[in-house]
Amino acid sequence: MNQPDQAVSGAKDSHKSQQSGVGSTAAGLTLDAFALADRLKLFNFTRRDEGFLWVLRAVEQRRASHRPRLHVDDVAEALAELAAAHPDVPQEMNLRYMLDELVSDKVLAPSDDASRAGSLAAYRRRHTTYQFTELGYRAYTAVEDVLSTRSDEVSLSRLVFADVLADFRALAEANLTGDGEEVYRKLSRLDAVLADMTRRAARFYLMLDDLARGTDASPETFLRYKDALLAHMADFASDLARYAPRLAEAVHRVEASGVEVLLTRAAEADERVFATPQARLDDWRRRWQGLGDWFCPSAVRASDADQLQTATVSAIGGVVGLLRQVLEGRRSGVSRQTQLRHLAQWVMAAPDDDAAHAIISAGFNWRAIRHLSGSHADPELISNRLPWWQAPGVPLSVSMLRHGKRPSPGPPAPLRRADGARAMLRRRQLAARAAAEAAEAALAGGATDRILNPDEVAVLLRLLTMALETRTVVSGRLLTARASTASLRITLTPSPAGSVVRTAHGRLHLPGVAIALAKEPATRVRRRREGTDQ
């Protein structure tokens, strides 16, 4: 039953490039280690308890009702509705904690809802709303697709051949009349239908392979569905054989209307704004190549439709042979299942453990190890046809001969401390700290009346970043913001005139704020160094 899988692999390989747009799956292979770790972090909720999945289902339920942004009480209300229909929903959950954990995994995105705050204190309590991120929603839907997929819901799509033939004919007509939008629509539909046909074929033949492997355990299942299975494959093979020549003729008719003109029109009507025109044209050229390979054979290979036809006929023969084996096993009353049951009865009826072990060893061909074995340093130097008594010996350690254990690798190598490198890094750290302290001492006298050196600019930018992050807006006005290091404090005050700081590389303009730098009090500096400043 592995032959259909191998035969249909050509159809999957030929069409794999058709789904590769600007954001294709293959592009994910080019992610660096940090980006890949962030993507895999999206699936952390699958390793936690089941409550996280129900929280995401509640968010998805409200999203389907056109309410993407939810408060905690909205999620609780949706969970109550789910609990009424599904008894598996956990009753007690810390929603705020679970939502924040999903935010840290980047599955959800938080935002502050100021419309629900009636006062400044309520606003500062941050009435947070939650919604799916784009990648988080894709991760959730992927997990739900896996959980909801049933292995028996597979079939070969034979009813689409008439639609594919009509689309090819309409595509040729649209290309001849110069209707670019109709060309784009028909090509997109053909690409989607062919991708669905490829996925269905791959899943169907994989199901046949699983069915063949599980027949010994459940022959009743196979006998129950064998008539429908054979009829379905026979109908598909018949329709494919009937439509394949007409589809190949339709593809040639489209090619006669001008393939390059067709691809150019499809690329111009493509709505992917972030792709360059050349990228869109190359992508549609790859997709059309896949469509042509499906229905038109070449000089070196058969078409994918012919390969699929061969795989279906081979699968029908495999199913018939499997049916014959099942019926013969039932008629004789001896199958692998009955053999294992008889062996288990003999083992349970054995008088002692030694007899039970002897029966198991005989049934599964278990034998005790009668010799020591090892591998040669270069196995290719020894012929496989050489008898073991003529082959050169393999040296074995004394511990293996005397105690039957492999030699210990020995104690680990001593750790290299690299004192010189550590001392060099320590000197660099002390020099950087001394330069920062000198820059802070120089900035205490002001920053707008002289030209700052690079160290002073670095300290000033760090203080500006800390101060700008602490600014708040009250009644439409920006308040004064402050930030400080161990020995220097900066104060940002709203000012229409703004500030200008001169550096060795140019001027730094700070519109709307005036900056003031001052030295920290000695007592506060001492408390910070001692770690007692609250």
**281-302 in b/e burial notation, b at 16+ Cβ within 10 A?**
bebbbebbebbbbbbbeeeeee
Dihedrals φ, ψ of 385, to 5°?
-85, -5
Question: Which region among 39-48, 143-152, 265-274, 430-439 has the lowest average model confidence (pLDDT)?
Answer: 143-152
Beta-bridge mates of residue 482: 491
How far apart (Å, rounded) are the C-alpha atoms in residues 226 and 96?
A: 52
- Which residue's entry shows tokens 């511990």? 399
How far apart (Å, rounded) are the C-alpha atoms in residues 59 and 63?
A: 6
pLDDT tens digit sequence for 156-186: 666 778 888 888 888 888 888 888 888 888 8
pLDDT tens digit sequence for 445-494: 788 788 888 888 888 888 888 888 877 766 556 678 888 887 888 888 88
End-to-end alpha-carbon separation of the chain, Å? Answer: 73
> pLDDT value at position 430?
92
Residue 518: which H helix or E strand, with range? Answer: strand 513-519
Amino acid at 164: V
Q: How many CA atoms lie within 13 A of 403 on its CB side?
A: 7
> pLDDT value at position 14?
41
pLDDT at residue 12 tops 50: no
> pLDDT value at position 19?
43
Beta-bridge mates of residue 109: 131
pLDDT tens digit sequence for 191-231: 888 888 877 777 777 777 766 665 444 556 566 666 777 77
Residues 6+ apart with CB under 8 A from 384: none
Mean pLDDT for 373-381 is: 73
Burial class for 447, CB neighbours closer than 10 Å (0-12, 13-18, 19+): buried
How far apart (Å, rounded) are the C-alpha atoms in residues 102 and 110?
A: 10
**In the 8-state DSSP scheme, what is residue 22?**
T
pLDDT at residue 151 tops 60: no
Q: How many CA atoms lie within 13 A of 467 on its CB side?
A: 27
pLDDT at residue 305 tops 70: yes
SS3 453: coil
What does the block give as tokens for 237? 């093979």
Residue 510: which H helix or E strand, with range? Answer: strand 506-510
Contact 468, 511 (CB under 8 A): no
Mean pLDDT for 241-269 is: 87
**Strand residues in 409-468 grouped as ranges (E):** 451-452
pLDDT at residue 119 tops 70: no
pLDDT band at residue 429 using 50, 70 and 90 as cut-offs: very high
Q: How many CB atoms lie within 10 A of CB 504?
A: 10
Question: Which region among 285-289, 307-311, 509-513, 518-522 has the lowest average model confidence (pLDDT)?
Answer: 518-522
pLDDT at residue 39 tops 70: yes
Amino acid at 116: R
**Strand residues in 144-260 grouped as ranges (E):** none
CA angle 437, 439, 445 (to 5 degrees): 110
**In the 8-state DSSP scheme, what is residue 17?**
G
SS3 196: helix
**In the 8-state DSSP scheme, what is residue 160?**
T
Burial class for 102, CB neighbours closer than 10 Å (0-12, 13-18, 19+): buried
Mean pLDDT of the chain: 76
What does the block give as tokens for 256? 């006669």
What does the block give as tokens for 167? 């689309």
Whole-structure pTM value: 0.42
Contact 62, 83 (CB under 8 A): no
CA angle 360, 364, 366 (to 5 degrees): 80
pLDDT band at residue 15 using 50, 70 and 90 as cut-offs: very low
Beta-bridge mates of residue 501: 508
SS3 105: coil
Give whole-number Cα distances, 491 to 459, 479, 484, 486, 533, in Å: 14, 11, 9, 15, 20
Question: Which region among 82-96, 203-217, 270-284, 509-523 has the lowest average model confidence (pLDDT)?
Answer: 203-217
Contact 458, 509 (CB under 8 A): no
